[in-house]
Amino acid sequence: MPEPASPKSARGEQTRAAIVTAALELFRERGYEKTTMRAIADSAGVSLGNAYYYVASKEHLIQAFYDRMQVEHEAQAAIVLADETTFLRRLAGVQEAFFDVAAPYHEFAGKFFKNAAEPASPLSPFSPESEPAREASIAIFRQVVVGSDLKAPAAILIELPELLWLMHMGYVLFWVHDTSDGQRRTRLLVQRGGALVDRLVRLTRLPGVRGVAEDVMGLVRTLKA
Amino acid sequence: MPEPASPKSARGEQTRAAIVTAALELFRERGYEKTTMRAIADSAGVSLGNAYYYVASKEHLIQAFYDRMQVEHEAQAAIVLADETTFLRRLAGVQEAFFDVAAPYHEFAGKFFKNAAEPASPLSPFSPESEPAREASIAIFRQVVVGSDLKAPAAILIELPELLWLMHMGYVLFWVHDTSDGQRRTRLLVQRGGALVDRLVRLTRLPGVRGVAEDVMGLVRTLKA
DNA sequence: GTCTATAGTGGGATAGAC
DNA sequence: GTCTATCCCACTATAGAC
């Protein structure tokens, strides 16, 4: 049992980075399944054994891809959030930014997506291992809400970022299945879905609707616990 | 390229059945991943190569499992639908019936679930290959609606069965991730989610809400096309 | 702690003879 | 339609260099 996982020295860090970079490049070029660990090791200039010294399995290399996407999304989202003030435009802008960032990897994403879908997998967006990335993503949606002109009951505003993140996961699910060119159907969904959410949230000020909205929030809270 | 997939002779059908039966038994005993194609072939009394003459891949064997579940769900749902008349009770009953049927396979389901999540996979619930099973499932939800006391705009009633099926898929997603004992959190979700849907659909008769509901339906129709 | 080289194992999938 | 033999590749094991 080697189990270093996180390198101890600067040199180790460099080697690890070389392996990850080589992997991501090959994944994008030939796809996940057609990229062998031997090819990754070769391309990184290390032995197969050494590659396994740094990455626990081929699947674990996917986490590196997530991390990169998250960082890029944050950067793009920050631009939108600095410019827009209305809830709708902030929401749509942030969501579109994600699919802008993800677009080059659409085919690749479809191939390895199944690894993220397994509940027990550390790659699942709901896993404990994914918590940092998940929290970072939810934080973006929190900014969408708090920096906006949105008016709604406090109980709803508090739960909303997490709900938007969940919706985002749903969009991603749609996206990986979306074979329309440029994934324009996903764009359509994001645009119209955003307008819908905007209307729905504002509707919660109507007495008849508010009760239902509070039930939704109660249910979400219950299931989170 | 052999590509028989569906056997030509009675003998072939028998061989295929033996393979599928052996596979399902082993899957339930030891789980999907720990069951090798060699073990399946052995257990069915055929050679490995012959097994591959009948099933395109190990993943394809999962379809057989789906089919069995679908048949059992239909049977249980029929009992509920014969007894209940209110929309809420019909919906909740049918959904609970599914998780009753699925319960013994919860662990197994988590293990192979990822195979269903890959968009390109024939095992995806959205794939063309899954259309028969999907339509059969939607048909159950259509019965939930049409045989009930539910009153709502026609445009909504038409789209509702498919939406309920989608919600059902969401529940299944939650279920495979649900580690609470007996998956009681999923039961809770189904119960409270059902009550929520009931209220929401009836709310569509309010003028302010109706517009939003029609937008939702429009969006769904657009994305289906 | 980092890395190489080499030799395996196990299991999904295929080729080609019969 | 059925077999045997083989391929391929993720992954492991080990022994040792720096």
pLDDT of B139 reads 98
Minimum-distance residue to D8 (CA–C1'): A36
Reduced to 3 states (helix: H, G, I; strand: E, B; else coil), residue A8 is coil
Topology, domain B10-54: Arc Repressor Mutant, subunit A (1.10.10)
Is B101's pLDDT higher than 70?
A: yes
**How sure is the predictor about A5, in pLDDT bands with cuts at 50, 70 and 90?**
low
Residue B33 in contact with partner chain A when CB distance is under 8 A: no
Is A99's pLDDT higher than 70?
A: yes
Least confident residue range of A56-70, A207-221, B115-129, B192-206 = B115-129
Q: Locate the domains of chain A by residue range.
A: 10-54, 61-224
Is B186's pLDDT higher than 50?
A: yes
Inter-axis angle of helices A184-203 and A87-102, to 10 degrees?
Answer: 160
When pLDDT is averaged across residues B166-181 and rounded to a whole number, the result is 93
Residues from chain B that touch A117, judged by Cβ atoms under 8 A, are 113-114, 116-118
Proximity of residue B113 CB to strand C below 7 A: no
Residue B177 in contact with partner chain A when CB distance is under 8 A: yes
Tally of CA atoms within 13 A in the half-sphere of B200 that contains its CB: 23
Residue B101 and residue B137: Cα distance in Å, rounded? 14
When pLDDT is averaged across residues B218-225 and rounded to a whole number, the result is 86
When pLDDT is averaged across residues B161-175 and rounded to a whole number, the result is 94
Among B179, B185, B219, the residue to mutate for chain A (most A Cβ within 10 A): B219
Among B105, B113, B118, the residue to mutate for chain A (most A Cβ within 10 A): B118
Closest by alpha carbon to A79, among A102, A65, A100?
A100
* Whether A165 contacts A137, CB under 8 Å: yes
pLDDT of A7 reads 64
- Find where tokens 């200039």 sit: A45
Closest by alpha carbon to A59, among A135, A116, A138, A131?
A116
Residue A169 distance to chain B (closest CA, Å): 12
DSSP string, B105-158: GHHHHHHHHHHHH-TTSTTSTTSGGGHHHHHHHHHHHHHHHHTS-----HHHHH
pLDDT of B5 reads 54
Residues from chain A that touch B113, judged by Cβ atoms under 8 A, are 117-119
**More reliable by pLDDT, B16 or A209:** B16
Residue B176 distance to chain A (closest CA, Å): 7
pLDDT in tens, B15-73: 999 999 999 999 989 989 999 999 999 999 999 999 999 999 999 999 888 888 999 99
**How sure is the predictor about B78, in pLDDT bands with cuts at 50, 70 and 90?**
very high
pLDDT of A8 reads 66
Residue A21 in contact with partner chain B when CB distance is under 8 A: no
* Whether A115 contacts A87, CB under 8 Å: no
* Whether A16 contacts A54, CB under 8 Å: yes
Residue A12 distance to chain B (closest CA, Å): 33
Residue B225 and residue A185: Cα distance in Å, rounded? 10
pLDDT of B1 reads 47
Is B170's pLDDT higher than 60?
A: yes
pLDDT in tens, A149-182: 999 989 899 999 999 999 999 999 999 989 999 9
Proximity of residue A6 CB to strand C below 7 A: no
**How sure is the predictor about B135, in pLDDT bands with cuts at 50, 70 and 90?**
very high
Residue B220 and residue B161: Cα distance in Å, rounded? 12
Topology, domain A61-224: Tetracycline Repressor; domain 2 (1.10.357)
Integer-rounded Cα Rg, in Å, for chain A is 20
